[in-house]
Structure 1
Amino acid sequence: SLPESMRVNVVHNGFSIDSFNEVANNPEIKEKQRFRVAIVGGLLELKGIFDFLESAKISVMKGLDIEFMIVGENARQLKGIKAFILKKMGFYRDVRKECEYFIQENSLQKNISMLRFVEDVSKVYRSIDVLCFPSHLNATGRPVFEAAFFHVPSIVAIENSLPDTFKPHETGLAIPQKNPQALADAIEYFYRNPKEIERMGRNAYELAIKNFDSQRNAEKVLDIYRDVLSKCVS
């Protein structure tokens, strides 16, 4: 919405893997035994959590040996009478409970694991092959470039992504929003093409280092301040 003539310097939020180096491993995250994909973040419908579940069902029905991991918690933790009233009024959904019901009803207990928020998010990214971000918001979320720091490519529901955040077929695969079949197809593509995981993961890492490294971005902000101050002095 800014005028094209206006000079703009974009500095993204930074992320540093060093901050997680001293955190103990989470015992809930088992050592990877097979191809593993994950969705990370608050459990919300608009984050595409149910699309992720449906894609798992599709993949299992095709006989693919894939583990689906859900890492996150309900956006609002409510219990008791308050939760009951809000639910009756349509203002509250226990998405975790809905996910657990879906898993049980479709006999997917051996294929889908659910973890609550983990303090050491790096442990999650180190244990997966591909990150899924099937959001309904047409945006590249923080988990995408967090995963990129660990050479993990992403499947993102997005149109016309910005080249400094996500590059289709280079740092991951882009899919339409609200499309479990497209998500399942993208997952299967990576499942059958491990070299593409390596290639796109490497590209994702290089893009993350360039645009999301906290140290580099801090220096960029400092340079902007210096530039502004020099003009004020002159």
Structure 2
Amino acid sequence: MKVCFFAHYSITNSDGATLSMYNIIDEMLSQGIEVVVILANTRNLEDRIAEGRIKFIVAPLYGMRMDLNRRTPMTQMKFFVKSICNSIHKRKIEKVLKAENVDIIHINGLDSGIGAEIAQKLKIPYIWHIRQFMEADLGKKLFREKYVYRLVSKASSVIAISKDVQTKFEPLLGRKMDLVYNGVPVEKYKLEDVSRFETPITRILLAGRISVQKGQMDAIKAVELLIQRGIDNVSLTLVGQGETKEYLEYVKSYVKEHGLEQKVCILEHHDDLRELRRQCDIGLTCSKKEAFGRVTVENMLARMLVIGANTGGTVEIVKDGYNGLLYEEGNPESLADQIEYAMLHKDNVQQMIEQGVIRAIEDYSINRVVRQILNLYKLIDSRFTI
């Protein structure tokens, strides 16, 4: 059996949707399922190409996600031209996939409708995996959105990675979606030999692209408030590339102008996030709205206390006071309160950390995800074994 994973947009190894896709692919390969991947480029994927286990087919497609802040008549014209260019590449992809003789096309994320158009032309069943809200988490909107949604609605299965994603898209698509939470390779992220809240400084980590949607300013201002309260034994590390140069400079200038350089460290690159997690006590998820919140699960497995914003998929993972803490999104004072609570109630925090590890292993392993997806495949084609 052969599956084609179709990633319309430009991807990197650090992108959460991409990581989740490759985790699924790796698990499928281990179960003897042949996989082909269509992608726009191979940036930062040299190691996977060198492994030679996956057949990569590069199609230089343009992403069709429009920035909400840059929608002008000229933008519409540019995306119209991009869609024409994509149509030319689509015909080449059709020929390749026809020769590959794939059984199912698995479309990863929302972008254009090319994967579905090819599937319909070649009469191959397709599954659509929706991993984002678009406006709320990425600040983007699809070009020809209604047309793309019509194609999504005709898929053999449409997968939502959280109940909140389900709630948004089911009315738009006019159909039921299948809920499959994201999963991670547990052993890759699980840490055993660590202790938390035992050093004089409470270290806090927020990993993810530096953007308005990811809420880094909530974290920075919370640290600032803690210092104003006389709690200065804290440090915050932000790890991630700036979505735009302008916003990254804004964050850096705020830190400098408010005298926080000794308390807030900004790392645009870090080769070993696992080691960085080993050194930190608290893992933050401050996003305005996460479709799922993969980083939250990774932090749980690393035995960090997770503190997350009370929105989106985060509230489906974190049960406040049980396996982590929630704060009011957009309210740095609420976040500062939760950090201070953690520092003052270390026994309660240790119990939350242990419950977080248990929840992550039981509910968010990649094995569970692939079992669910293969069940969906089997409903489409009985030759897929579970």
Q: Which amino acid aligns with 1:75?
A: E
What is the CA–CA distance in structure 2 between the aligned matches of 1:185 and 1:58, rounded to whole Å?
9
Deviations 1:170-193 (A, max 9, x none): 121111121010011111111111
The amino acid across from 1:60 in the alignment is: I
Match of residue 48 from structure 1:
215
State the secondary structure of the residue aligned to 1:155: strand
How far 1:53 sits from its partner (Å)?
A: 1.0
Which one of the candidate residues 103, 109, 117 is aligned to 2:255? Answer: 103
Q: Distance in 1 between matches of 2:182 and 2:363?
A: 9
- What's the secondary structure of 1:125's corresponding residue? helix
Partner of 1:168: 320
Q: Which residue of 2 aligns with 1:191?
A: 343
Alignment length (residue pairs) = 204
- Counterpart Cα distance in 1 of 2:312 and 2:367: 28
Structure 1 pair 12–44 and aligned structure 2 pair: CA distance change class (3 A): same
Give 2:240's aligned residue: 72
Measure, in 2, the Cα distance between the counterparts of 1:163 and 1:46: 17
What is the one-letter code of the residue matched to 1:61? Q
SS in 2 for 1:107: coil
Q: Provide closer, same or farther for how the CA distance between residues 231 and 13 of structure 1 changes in structure 2, counting only shifts above 3 A.
A: same
Q: Does 1:60 align with 2:242?
A: no
Give how far 1:161 is off.
5.9
- Residues 223 and 336 of structure 2 are in contact (CA less than 8 Å); yes or no, is this contact kept in structure 1? yes
**Partner Cα separation in structure 2 for residue 119 and residue 135 of structure 1:** 23
**Equivalence for 2:181:** 12
Which is richer in strand? Answer: 2
Aligned-pair Cα RMSD in Å: 2.9
Q: TM-score, normalised by structure 2?
A: 0.47
Which residue matches 2:247?
A: 94
34-43 vs 136-145, greater mean Cα deviation: 136-145
Paired residues of 1:15 and 1:146 also in contact (CA < 8 A):
yes
Paired residues of 2:202 and 2:234 also in contact (CA < 8 A):
yes
Conserved? CA contact 1:59–1:184, under 8 Å: yes
Answering whether residue 284 of structure 2 is matched by residue 132 of structure 1, we say yes
Take 2:314 and 2:337, find their aligned partners in 1: how far apart are those partners? 23
Partner of 1:112: 264
**What SS does the aligned partner of 1:208 have?**
helix
CA contact (8 A) 1:52 1:134 kept: yes
The whole-number CA distance in structure 2 between the counterparts of 1:71 and 1:50 is 13
Between the two proteins, what is the percent identity of the paired residues?
21
CA contact (8 A) 2:186 2:366 kept: no
1:147 counterpart (296, 299, 303): 299
Work out whether residues 140 and 166 of structure 1, in 8 Å CA contact, stay in contact via their aligned partners in 2: no
Question: Which whole-Å deviations, capped at 9, do the CAs of 1:165-213 have from their partners, x for residues lacking one?
Answer: 2212112111112101001111111111112221111111111112221
State whether residues 134 and 183 of structure 1, in contact with CA within 8 Å, keep that contact through their aligned partners in structure 2. Answer: no
Using the TM superposition, give the Cα deviation of residue 20 of structure 1 relative to its aligned residue in structure 2, in angstroms. 6.8
1:49–1:134 contact (8 Å) kept in structure 2: yes
Q: CA deviation at 1:33?
A: 6.0
Q: Offset of 1:117 from its aligned partner?
A: 2.9
**TM-score relative to the length of structure 1:** 0.75
Q: Deviations over 1:64-119 (max 9, x none)?
A: 21111111120246xxxxxxxxxxxxxxx232x22222222222222111212323
Question: Contact conserved, 1:161 with 1:167, CA < 8 A, in 2?
Answer: no
Deviation at 1:40, TM superposition (A): 0.9
Residues 164 and 207, structure 1, Cα contact 8 Å, conserved in 2:
no
Tell me which structure has the larger Cα radius of gyration: 2
Return 5+ residue gaps in structure 1 as ranges.
22-31, 78-92
Summarize deviations over 1:25-55 as a string: whole Å, max 9, x none: xxxxxxx762111111011122111111111
Would you say the 8 A contact 2:320–2:326 is kept in 1? yes
CA separation of 1:145 and 1:52: change in aligned 2, threshold 3 A: same
1:36 and 1:141 mapped to 2: Cα distance?
Answer: 21
For residue 179 of structure 2, give the secondary structure of its aligned residue in structure 1.
coil
Report if the CA contact (8 A) 1:140-1:156 is conserved. no
8 Å CA contact retained: 2:210, 2:216: yes
Q: Gapped runs of 5+ residues in structure 2? A: 1-168, 191-198
Structure with the bigger RCO (C-alpha within 8 Å, sep 6+) is: 1
